[in-house]
Structure 1
Amino acid sequence: MTEPLPVAVPRKGRPLEAVLERLADVGGTDRLEELADSVSNTLRYEKAVTKGSLEAERGPYHRLADYSDPSDPNNPEFTLLRDDRDGKPRRIVFDSATVSIDGVDLMLVGREEPFRALRTHEFALGFDSADLVLEEVVGIRPTGLGRLADINERIDPMDTDVRVVTGLGDTVYHTLMGRPSELPAGTDLDREFLTEYEGPICISPRYERLVTAVLGTDVLADVEFVYPDPDAPEEATIADTGLGVYLTVSGSTARDHGLVLGEHLFPSETVVMRNAAEDHPALESALRLFDGIGSDSKITV
């Protein structure tokens, strides 16, 4: 009997929820729906406990024992990690679960950085945020990029064997935004506007390489990156700066700060990835489960 295909997934957050929801949609079984709901609800509760917005009645080890039952292979397992918040509190996160979809057995294994786990050849298949791929390996060029389908062409094959297969469609966008006073009448807030712009753009420091790759060095020739006040909402600092790039869903908070939304520069989306140098008897069948599901155009691997 073939061992399940190990699949690297995030330990927590929106990307993990996107993976579980997609597996439930593809598999169409009550068990997969229950798995997605139970893991997501557990981790949302644990996040609230870690952030201090909820107080748990029992300690983390008791809660961990309640969540994980290794004697039942149908149950997900969780584990404890130290969170990076002040005080380094213990945080309960996803560890593993085995699922079967259309005869394909997958062992979902939680990793802090699934993309890096694929880079080191621990896995042949995994899921992670497209952001991390851009931050880690996408080459910086004079011209920018704006689609998931552009990523693989920017990856140096000497640097990694990992390629993006498709997106899961859980899309929020890195969006250009600014004060109306920064825009001449009749001007759109887009990449073309930035080619003539000289001055500061407010971005999160962790996204400096991502924004550089997305916009390209030509556009940024006369631009200075500035960073938000850590004690203030990012939209407030962008409003003070005049222009910025920030993740948006609806854009309502940006508008509350007097900002107008411009071009969606790049989708921040959970992506399916494969390491082209690794194989498994179930790999191609697993990839077919996700064929064509993304919101972007088909990606060449």
Structure 2
Amino acid sequence: MTEVRIAVPRKGRPLEAVLERLADATGSDGVAAVADQITSTLRYEKAVTKGTKHPDLDAYSRLADYSDLDDPAAPEFTLLRDDREGMPRRIVFDSVTVPTETGDVRLVGREEPFRALRTHEFGLGFDSADLVLEEVVSLAPEGVGDLADVNARIDPRDTDVRVLSGLGDTVYHTLMAKPEILPPGADVDREFVADYEGDLCISPRYERLVEAVLGTRAIEDVSFAYPENGEEEEAAIARTGLGVYLTVTGSTARDHGLVLGDHLFPSETVLMENRAETNGTADHIADLIAGAELDTAISV
């Protein structure tokens, strides 16, 4: 059978979402066991990185323990330099081959899967929808509200990559505000931002994403503000009055006295395709992984 290579993140929630989706799509206990092994290993290594776990073995010895060179189906891990002080090494996902009824799927870890697709290294890949907005979605007076809007905003002269579907591991970029800045009866929504003049607190790397999501017309009279060093985003938004931040339940925002407003855009893992690099087998694999039951499938 033909092997299809798919670029995936090396760690974190997006990789876990891909592994869960692939296990569900194949219905294989063996695939589910491998997915659990990868997830549990990386969660442990994350705890080591954060200093909540203190292993007896060094990173090289742990890497050797995780590896089984005699088993071609076993997942592989690798060491990368971390950006913490001293630049220690961190164990991350490297690759694994998963059998499916359509063909073997080779998941290959990349620091930036989306960019690996843009440079034609892969035909299929998974990454955060946020990166697509940050890098290739064109800015326009009106904002982007959901994944279905994304492909229409990608200039075909800029990239061959398109979003096929979301995996549903959704958290939202959400508007938050102090009640004191709201007129009586006002909602914290896009219309409120369009009429608002003042500071809007966001994470520093999200300027272009927020511009794409809200639209350039809505932020004409807005100035971006940012959390101070070490300050929680919700605390910074409470200090500023209005902001955008990722939220699932919103409990931390409420603890800071904030009112939750519109869910502006879903931050979820998306399946992407570089049409110039795929074939019929890759299309079947994409259909298998995306799943006909998903209601987040996107027309391209």
TM-score, normalized by the shorter chain, greater than 0.5 = yes
Moved over 6 A (4+): none
Q: Secondary structure at the match of 2:90?
A: strand
Structure 2 residue identity aligned to 1:244: G
> 1:230 Cα deviation (Å)?
2.6
Pairing 1:71–2:67 present: no
Whole-angstrom distance in 2 between the partners of 1:58 and 1:207: 38
> 1:249 Cα deviation (Å)?
0.7
Whole-angstrom distance in 2 between the partners of 1:23 and 1:108: 10
Q: Deviations over 1:156-203 (max 9, x none)?
A: 000000000000000000000011111111111000111110000100
Contact 2:164/2:272 (CA < 8 Å) preserved in 1?
Answer: yes
Tell me what 1:172 maps to.
Answer: 171
Tell me what 2:160 maps to.
Answer: 161
> 1:300 Cα deviation (Å)?
1.8
Whole-angstrom distance in 1 between the partners of 2:117 and 2:25: 23
In structure 2, runs of 5+ residues without a counterpart are none
TM-score using structure 2 length: 0.97
> 1:295 Cα deviation (Å)?
4.6
Tell me what 2:82 maps to.
Answer: 83
Q: Deviations over 1:60-103 (max 9, x none)?
A: 00000111112201210000000112221110000000001223
TM-score using structure 1 length: 0.97
Contact 1:195/1:218 (CA < 8 Å) preserved in 2?
Answer: yes
> 1:281 Cα deviation (Å)?
4.7
Tell me what 2:219 maps to.
Answer: 220
Tell me what 1:232 maps to.
Answer: 231
> 1:293 Cα deviation (Å)?
4.8
Q: Deviations over 1:195-218 (max 9, x none)?
A: 110000100011110000000110
Q: Secondary structure at the match of 1:85?
A: coil
Whole-angstrom distance in 2 between the partners of 1:23 and 1:89: 31
Whole-angstrom distance in 1 between the partners of 2:251 and 2:225: 23
Stretch of structure 1 that moved more, 244-253 or 51-60: 51-60
Tell me what 2:97 maps to.
Answer: 98
Cα 1:295/1:239, change in 2 over 3 Å: farther
Structure 2 residue identity aligned to 1:190: D
Whole-angstrom distance in 1 between the partners of 2:165 and 2:208: 22
Structure 2 residue identity aligned to 1:5: V
Whole-angstrom distance in 2 between the partners of 1:293 and 1:138: 27
Whole-angstrom distance in 2 between the partners of 1:195 and 1:40: 42
Whole-angstrom distance in 1 between the partners of 2:9 and 2:292: 22
Tell me what 2:52 maps to.
Answer: 53
Contact 2:25/2:291 (CA < 8 Å) preserved in 1?
Answer: no
Structure 1 residue identity aligned to 2:24: D
Stretch of structure 1 that moved more, 90-99 or 225-234: 225-234
Whole-angstrom distance in 1 between the partners of 2:217 and 2:271: 30
Whole-angstrom distance in 2 between the partners of 1:209 and 1:98: 36
Contact 1:189/1:262 (CA < 8 Å) preserved in 2?
Answer: yes
> 1:104 Cα deviation (Å)?
2.3
> 1:155 Cα deviation (Å)?
0.4
Q: Secondary structure at the match of 1:160?
A: coil
Cα 1:170/1:293, change in 2 over 3 Å: farther
Tell me what 2:298 maps to.
Answer: 299
